[in-house]
Amino acid sequence: MTQRDVITSKEISDHRKDETALNVTDGSFVTSAGNPVSKRTTKGWHMIIEWRDGSMNWHKLADIKDSYPVQLAEYAVANGIDHEPTFKWWVKKTLRRKEKENSKVKSKYWRSTHKFGIEIPKYMAVAYRIDRESGTNHWTRAIEKEMKNVRITFEKIDGVTEQQMRTGKVKSGYSYCSTHMIFDVKMDGSFTRKARLVADGHKTRPPTSITYSSVSHGIA
């Protein structure tokens, strides 16, 4: 795959396998020590990649596995094909590595209290408190800017309570997902404050559809 393909890919939309793909019963062998070992194979499997220009193409799993390991692993789990020989030998390992890396990033973020001598809030209430005590509005402006940028992602539904939202039954095909704000300071001449709204996707159930997408859409 080309560098352009990696940059402009949007989602994994479908999958198929042909007669050369290994059956589940043939997906492993037993070592001389009596231990079952999964066969390392990707043959016979193809995935549809949808590009950001709207085009869609079939690609051999072998050709895209190294470019999209996490996306493919999550797609396999969400679609119940992670037990297939072509996925079984690497999916769990890939997801464990992703979780380990995420844990390291989270740990570093929560340990950091200041950057460039500026206090970094971990919650919105703390961001507002810092602005009040310092007589500034740096964090408040950062939050407002972020919410303005992401507002297009959300669909507003009037007359819905928070409790109704939490049931996940407000709109068919959608489930409740909490969010939180993360904060940082940009290394520029003004030490610009940054705020990013993050969806807690790890708290939601895998999608029941066949499509894997890393883009979240919400209702509010």
Stronger pLDDT, 165 or 58, i.e. the higher one: 58
pLDDT in tens, 67-82: 889 889 989 998 999 9
Pairing of strands 36-38, 56-60: unpaired
Tell me the one-letter amino acid at 177.
Answer: C
Q: How confident is the model at residue 206 (pLDDT cuts 50, 70, 90)?
A: low
Distances in Å between the alpha carbon of 81 and those of 64, 73, 86, 148, 194?
17, 10, 9, 39, 40
* Domains of the chain, residue spans: 3-95, 110-219
pLDDT in tens, 139-188: 999 999 999 999 888 888 888 888 888 887 787 777 788 888 999 999 88
pLDDT in tens, 10-45: 688 899 999 999 998 888 888 888 888 889 999 999
What pLDDT is recorded for position 1?
44
R_g of the chain, CA atoms, integer Å: 22
Stronger pLDDT, 52 or 67, i.e. the higher one: 67
- Residue 219 pLDDT exceeds 80: no
What pLDDT is recorded for position 20?
93
CA 213 – CA 154 distance, rounded (Å): 17
Task: Give percent of the chain with pLDDT exceeding 90.
Answer: 43
Mean of pLDDT over the chain: 83
What pLDDT is recorded for position 111?
83
- Residue 120 pLDDT exceeds 60: yes
As a whole number, mean pLDDT of residues 104-125 equals: 86
With beta carbons less than 8 A apart as the criterion, state whether 77 and 96 touch: no
> Which one is the CATH code of 3-95: 2.40.30.10, 2.40.50.40, 3.40.50.360, 3.30.390.10?
2.40.50.40
